[in-house]
Structure formats: structure tokens, C-alpha cells
Amino acid sequence: MKLQRNGRSKALAIGAMALVSSLSLAACGSDNNNDTKASGGSSGGSSAAAINCGKSGTLLASGSTAQGNAMDVWKTNFGAACSGSTINYGGGGSGTGVQQFNQGKVQFAGSDSALKPAEVEDSKKVCTGGQGIDLPMVGGLISLIYNIEGVDNLVLDGPTAAKIFDSQITKWNDPAIVALNPGAKLPDADIQAFHRSDDSGTTENLTKYFAKTSGGAWSYPAAKAWAGKGGQSAKESAGVSAQVKQVKNSISYAELSYAQTNNLKSAAINTGAAKPIEATAVNAANTFAKAKVAGTGSDLALTLDYATKDEGSYPLVLVTYEIVCDKGNKADTLDTVKAFLTYAASDAGQKAIGDTGYVPLPKELTDKVNAIIPTLA
């Protein structure tokens, strides 16, 4: 990445890069690491008994950084219970994960989005007699975090949020926001909207939601790269959270754990249900419970209903997948893969990541996943 470095700074550059990459890996995930370790340790003992280790071995996996902290928790607990097995999950992003999976370098990949048709075709080369399938494993929730003095219960809806992030609404006392928040003391101040400067699955999910629910106010296709007009940007969820904390009259989006650890308020969303929906894990799980399976066969790619009007269903959610072969997994690691995924999809596994700011998937969904895992071959 650094193309020219001179003299003494060359050694520094290498050191800095090492530091940077370790820092940014840590920062990419959904939670801060201290929390992860704490809960990993505490839940390790209780869940250890429930883990069926299978044949011991070393698993290589890589992909989505959004589920990096979930993986940390799982591999700590799994490793504690099954001393012979180690899981190496390299972050590096969903794109890298899928690429490495299709090159046969890793046994499974973590991805923010389901495999695309071309990627499924590619996977057939690695999965002899089968193909790559998506198993939903890690649920998340995107909070619209804000910092407005004197406003504690901000309510937004799809079109308004989309217009705020696209600079079509620029003042907090805009009639559209006032209409959603009767009685709130909204200041006559410029909205400081922050988005991610790096490409991110969080941005992709937010813009998918906008595309579905904004009634045309969001005119860009959903993508990992930010497309909206105006606003400011910051690097990674940690960066935008820090900006919202620092800057008055600001708003941004990040996964729930960042709202919690930074003590930031999250806007409730008016979906058309009787009451605005608060951004809580329970409300997100309700949305997951009603998600439809779009994949065929053993592929469990989900279609999330962003436009849901059900009571208590928070619409702005995301799910990340583990990608494995349905048939044609490597024989020597298959048993370990199954054991690890079984643990991850178990109640204990889901509860463990729920403590670190993820959304435990509801039983309706984990039952489907648990039905697939034993059939892997």
C-alpha cells in the first residue's frame, strides 16, 4: 500500500503497518475487544459441557469483519471445550473470505451477503459434487445513533432517515422530523450526518433498507460504498461512533454494540406499526423470525422484510452467513466444521454472542440451520 518510503522511515513503515492492521482488524468488528474477552471467558465454562467436539483438527476460515467478534467468542469457547481443535478466522472482509473459500484455501467463509450466482458456480470446483451454501449464523442490528441536546427519544422513518443521510433534509427542526416527534424540542441546527468512509457491509444493509422503504427518496442502488450526497465520513464503526459522540446535532449508523459501548442514543423507527420500534435485540429477533428463506435446497440465504409493519419488529437488521460446501467438504476437516457450526448455531453459542452486542437468532431460524448442519458431507 505504501509505495514509497525513504530511509529510516522504511522500518517504521513496516512496524506501523503491522500495528495498523492489527488495530483495524480489532476495530472492524462489532464490539470492542474487552467485552468480547470478558463474555467469552464467562460463558466459556457454562457452554463447555454442551459442545460436542467431534474429531479434533484445525479449521481455517476467513471473511466478514462484522462477525469477527462473534468468531472470537465462539473460537474461545470451542477451543476451551475441545482442546484438540483450533479455529483460525482471518478477517479481511467478505470479499476475501468468499474468494479464499472458492480457491479451497479455507474450510468455511464468513460473509455479509449471500453467494452471488457466479460465486456459486465457482464454488462447484471446490465442492466436488456439491456447491457453496449460506447458513445464517450471526444476526445484527443497525442503530441510527444520534447526539442532539435535549432530545432523548428521536423517532424517524425510512423516507426521513434516507433524506437526512442524502442531505435533502438539513435542519433538525425540518417539518418532516417535527411531524414524527410531536412534543420534542428539536433545535434549529444543521444536521451533521456521518457515514462510513470505508466500504462496509453495514452501509450496504442500511442502503438496502433505504432502497426498500424510502419511497424513492434514496435514489442510489444499495452498495458497500457510500453514494449519498453531502455529509461527512469517518473510518469504520468506531470512527463514526466517535464523531457522533464528539459532534453536537450529529447522526450516523452503526451496529448496536457501538451504541451501547459509547452510550449513544438510538432513534426508534416508525414503521407504520402502532408504536415506533425501539432498536433492541428483542425487536430485531422478531424480524429475523419472520424472514423468508430465499435459498433453495440446503441454502438458507434469507430475505429480510425491511418494510415490515409488524408490532415489535425492528426493520433495520442484518444477518451474516457462514459459507460451506453442502457436499464435497474436505474429509479430514468435515467433522470439525460440523462440530463448530453446531455449537455456533446452538442456544449456548447464540447466547454467547448476544452478550457482545449481536442479536441472537430466534429459534425459528436456528432450527432450520441445525437441520442442515448434520447433512453436510
Partner 1 sequence: MTSSSPAAPRGRERRKRDSRVGDKIFMNAARGSGILLLVIMAAIAGFLTWRSGIALSKNEGNFLTTFEWTPDAPKPVFGIAVLAFGTIVSALIAMAIAVPVAIGIALFISHYAPRKIAQPFAYLVDLLAAVPSVVYGLWGALFLVPHLDGLTSWLNDYLGWTYIFDQSRAGTTPRNLFTVGILLAIMILPIITAVSREVFRQVPRMHEEAALALGATRWEMIRTAVLPFGRPGIISASMLGLGRALGETIAVAIVLSSNNVLSLHLLDPGGGTFAQNIALKFNEAQPFGRDALMASGLVLFVITLLVNGAARLIVARRKEYSGANA
Count of residues interacting with partner 1 (CB under 8 A):
50
> Counting contacts by CB under 8 A, is residue 234 touching partner 1?
yes
Region of 13-21, 33-41, 78-86, 325-333 interacting with partner 1 (CB under 8 A): 13-21
Interface mask toward partner 1 for 193-212; x: CB under 8 A = -x--xxxxx-----------
Question: Three-state DSSP class for 143?
Answer: strand
Exposure on the CB side of residue 55, measured as CA atoms within 13 A: 9
Q: Toward partner 1, which CB reaches closer, 96 or 366?
A: 96
Rounded to 5°, the CA angle 244-248-252 comes to 30
d(CA 168, CA 236): 24
Q: Is 40 in the site for partner 1 (CB under 8 A)?
A: no
How near is the Cβ of 339 to partner 1 at its closest, in Å? 29
CA–CA dist 256, 354 (Å, integer): 11
> Considering only residues 163, 208, 224, 265, which one is a binding residue for partner 1 as defined by CB under 8 A?
224
320 binds partner 1 (CB under 8 A): no
Nearer to partner 1, 13 or 60 (CB): 13
Position 241 contacts partner 1 (CB under 8 A) = no
Q: Distance (Å, rounded) from C-alpha 336 to C-alpha 338? A: 5
User: What CA–CA distance (Å, rounded) separates 317 from 302?
Assistant: 12
Say if CB 179 and CB 156 are below 8 A apart: no
- What is the smallest separation between the CB atom of 268 and partner 1, expressed in angstroms? 27
Residues 6+ apart with CB under 8 A from 340: 59, 74, 78, 85, 87
Q: Which of 43, 62, 96, 147 binds partner 1 (CB under 8 A)?
A: 96
103 contacts partner 1 (rule: CB under 8 A): no
Q: Smallest distance from the beta carbon of 173 to partner 1, in angstroms?
A: 17
Backbone phi and psi for residue 62, each to the nearest 5 degrees, phi listed first: -160, 170
Positions in 105-164 near partner 1 (CB under 8 A): none
Measure the CA–CA gap between 2 and 62, rounded to whole angstroms.
Answer: 24
Least distance from C-beta 364 to partner 1, angstroms?
Answer: 30
CB nearer partner 1, residue 15 or residue 104:
15
Q: Indicate the helix (H) or strand (E) that contains 131.
A: none
Which region among 1-9, 156-164, 260-268, 285-293 touches partner 1 (by CB under 8 A)? Answer: 1-9
Residue 335 CB, nearest approach to partner 1 (Å): 32
Residue 133: CB partners within 8 Å, gap ≥ 6? 115, 295, 297, 298, 299, 300, 323, 324, 325, 326, 372
DSSP-derived 3-state class of residue 190: strand
- The residue among 12 and 371 lying less far from partner 1, judged by its C-beta, is 12
Binding site for partner 1 (CB under 8 A): 1-9, 12-13, 15-16, 19-20, 23-24, 28, 65, 91-96, 99, 190, 192, 194, 197-201, 221, 223-227, 231-235, 239, 242-243, 246-247
